[in-house]
Amino acid sequence: MWNLLRKSLLILVMLPISAWADSTDQLASLLQSHARLSAAFQQYTLGDDNLKSENATGRLWIEGVDRFRWETESPFPQTIISDGEWLWVYDPDLEQATQRPLGEGEVMTPARVLGGNVEQLNRYFNVQQIEAGAGNSLFELTPKEEGSAEFQSLRLLFSGDLLAELLIQDGLGQRSLIMLSEQSFPAAFDQTMFRFEPPASVDVIVMDPNG
């Protein structure tokens, strides 16, 4: 696993950027098959030396721009669900859930990028393609406007036509590497997986976006 992680970091972190004129169209074409995606993930927090300092595992489901489910299984269980209208974050160990509305001006997240199209990519991001070797396609997205995305930069690595890894750098400079496996592209999802009903014993905190 460490050899695989080290190879991933060389691709995602070390390679220089070389912009290709049609990189947005190429990325949008690759993402077309990922608009409905199920996968297992391993998530690492990276230090300045590119060594992992934390590890989380779980599964994700994405459908379009606004519907996703992210279930962290270890080291602590957590479920994040968006049904297109509400975003829920549920921490069973804390017996707590937070709820906030999604709006038309909702900032872009990596999950929303995967469900995006050419128009959205052009509106929100500068997209550059990076030379990544035979069989790989690597793209870097940076927001055109401050505050329009929940990250400072996002790198997407495709192995062939399959999304394999994401490298996310947030506004504080912290970096997370997400490695995907068991990717599948079902014809449809049971829509109940994108809805959340908090258990009776759970404290619900409703976030006011204007508060």
- Tell me, yes or no, whether 5 lies in a domain: no
- Tell me, yes or no, whether 10 lies in a domain: no
What is the band of 18 on the pLDDT scale with cuts at 50, 70, 90? very low
Contact 153, 166 (CB under 8 A): no
Q: Which two tokens stand for residue 71?
A: 């279930």
- Tell me, yes or no, whether 24 lies in a domain: yes
H-helix segments, the chain:
2-9, 23-31, 110-114, 118-124
Residue 93 has pLDDT above 50, yes or no: yes
Amino acid occupying residue 203? D
- Tell me, yes or no, whether 177 lies in a domain: yes
Residue 205 has pLDDT above 90, yes or no: yes
- Look at residue 96 in the predicted model and tell me its pLDDT: 97
Quick one: which of 12, 20, 7 has its CA closest to 165? Answer: 12
Could you read off the pLDDT of 162-191 as tens digits, one per residue?
Answer: 999 999 998 888 899 999 999 999 999 999
Domain count, the chain: 1
Distances (CA, A) of 166 to 5, 13, 60, 163: 12, 11, 13, 8
Print the domain residue range for 84: 15-206
Amino acid occupying residue 40? A
Q: Can you tell me the distance from the alpha carbon of 163 to that of 35, in angstroms, rounded to the nearest whole number?
A: 11
CATH of the domain at 120: 2.50.20.10
pTM (2 d.p.): 0.82
Quick one: which of 101, 113, 81 has its CA closest to 193? Answer: 81
- Tell me, yes or no, whether 50 lies in a domain: yes
